[in-house]
Structure 1
């Protein structure tokens, strides 16, 4: 009898319709991935742990229990999250020839994929998404430097990387003395597309215009659309952050180093549908948070919006000189701030990504 129950359970969890229904239900209980680190016998230990948002809102304290499954090697980087799957990039640092690979894990089913190796050189960044038309998860590797680019794609289940068309407009990848590393423009996955920020100098002879370069994972072709006109006159591209919020593509920046502004694209791909969702005064935040007497005029402090539900917003913050990454809950209606506490060092700003529990296979 027990064996029959087990077989029935296994058959359910491998049924694509059941997996889709489970994922739809799970999406109503959003999580954030928390990358935590601590010293253990003079060695830095890293874990990437999914944490339910409702727990943070109910009790703003990230009390995390973890185990070895969530452990991340020191020579690893968290690439992204999609439909309950987490993607990691790893490499060896020993005397042996360089060995680089990626792998996929599913924390809910506690499964990991085999290593996905690559040998096409260094300076590549990675992002991760889903092509619903072929029900295929894809890893996109890209390199962009000094106006040149190279893009490759790996389908989970295949055993090879494929070259695809290069970017029509090269995404912003790096600026000298930029306070935030290049992986903040590694691409935002939205509805079967990967989206990057770029600065297009060819739109007019005199004005640079911010654009979003979008890769359709189904056709593996590109489109591009503009951000609101006039931003390039007042906002350095290094301050822009692209993220999916409220089931829409959003981006944020600061205004005259005094306010945080969030924009939302109501209709994906339609430049005219950008709306300004809200503004938040840095002065109001500084009055309620002990933020090390930060001088905003020096642009050493930046916010990243992680989650929105009605008037409640979860923010990650980062200070360049102290390398402190914090988080807090902000109420748009009454303008109150509550800091999220934790006993661990959590890398809120760089590694907090959306996550939902799923039964999706890693193979």
Structure 2
């Protein structure tokens, strides 16, 4: 009789287990939590969450936010705000399918106001004839955990038909204090009083921080997060409110970027590119590509131009990455809207994904060869695209 051989698998050191787990996708970690109470505790520990976030940041994702119209049964129409956290690889291969598989819908009285470290901030409102009530929630798409409602801000409105306030929102992380912050910039249309209120995660009040010297342009509502600041396009000297200016008389010197510093609750102005010699016929769009501020604009109804600020706050670092003729690509000239909206750029900067709302297309543009690689149609009518850098994480939304 042969002697049976017994093999023993030694228990792995805790440090090695932590190292292995920290490289895994959130989806896998969610499944593994049920295997061990020790693992469940480990994955909730702030040190592990931070380590996993650092390593997850190498896996590029984008969160797209847009307003969506779906044709329901019969003649009814349902509208909703949609958020879609997508992998960049999937978007390049098949934008329509990738986005549709990732969509999470919210009430049409909601808006996505930013994403940071895997958390998405959702602002909602409730309106009556007398007042409007605003609040925010934090959502982690990877873990599917949603926070409770924040404290409310109530703005009294005596005229239902005419808005008495204009608002801007932004969401980001203050790495000096280690706190997440929601910023609201408010303009009282009657008095032209401008103020900023900040909600710090864990503190149950909206704190007034400063009176704004100017108010950003009407669109977009959401500030762009770059290098610990929130950024909006604004006018330095023309008009008093969002409707108090004539765009036809705005000059390049009037156009600035209002940049709010989350660490110090201060502001400064960033200047336009030196190569922008005249103001476009319509307001440009300020976004983010590859962690850099991105300025896109329609030039004389003939060209679509995109600038990238490669070093934040440095005017001379503005770089023109695209200047393409509509006619060259047989695109119709549209007199009332920007044809393209940049969604994201590949790591080696050879591919740019654009949304074309006029023709309801996703356009995959080859920057190296200056040509359209392919297009995909929208499955449903959508508009008001906003693109955010996004990373999957274990960050808890409370």
One fold, TM greater than 0.5?
A: yes
Question: 1:284–1:18: structure 2 CA closer, same or farther, 3 Å change rule?
Answer: farther
Q: Identify the residue that residue 87 of structure 1 maps to in structure 2.
A: 121
- Mapped partners of 1:220, 1:53: distance in 2: 33
Contact 2:170/2:222 (<8 A) preserved: yes
Q: Following superposition of structure 1 onto structure 2, how do residues 92-241 of structure 1 map, counting pairs within 5 Å?
A: 92=126, 98-116=132-150, 117-121=152-156, 122-144=165-187, 148-173=193-218, 182=219, 184-201=220-237, 208-229=253-274, 231=276, 233-236=278-281, 238-241=282-285
Contact 1:304/1:316 (<8 A) preserved: yes
Q: Identify the residue that residue 306 of structure 1 maps to in structure 2.
A: 343
Q: Secondary structure of the residue that 2:204 maps to in structure 1?
A: coil
Q: Identify the residue that residue 65 of structure 1 maps to in structure 2.
A: 101
Total equivalences in the alignment: 335
TM-score (normalised: structure 2): 0.75
Question: 1:214–1:40: structure 2 CA closer, same or farther, 3 Å change rule?
Answer: same
Contact 1:199/1:211 (<8 A) preserved: yes
Deviations 1:282-317 (A, max 9, x none): 1133x2xxx6xx334x24343221111121000122
Deviation for aligned residue 1:152? 0.4
> Which one has a bigger Cα radius of gyration?
2
Q: Following superposition of structure 1 onto structure 2, how do residues 33-48 of structure 1 map, counting pairs within 5 Å?
A: 33-35=64-66, 36-41=68-73, 42-44=76-78, 46=80, 47-48=82-83
Contact 1:188/1:243 (<8 A) preserved: yes
- Mapped partners of 1:10, 1:143: distance in 2: 42
- Mapped partners of 1:25, 1:76: distance in 2: 31
Q: Identify the residue that residue 269 of structure 1 maps to in structure 2.
A: 313
Contact 2:53/2:394 (<8 A) preserved: yes
Question: 1:228–1:136: structure 2 CA closer, same or farther, 3 Å change rule?
Answer: same
Deviations 1:57-93 (A, max 9, x none): 12343252368xx331232222222221111122235
Question: 1:261–1:58: structure 2 CA closer, same or farther, 3 Å change rule?
Answer: same
1:341 to 363, 377, 381: 377
Q: Secondary structure of the residue that 1:336 maps to in structure 2?
A: strand
- Mapped partners of 2:96, 2:34: distance in 1: 42
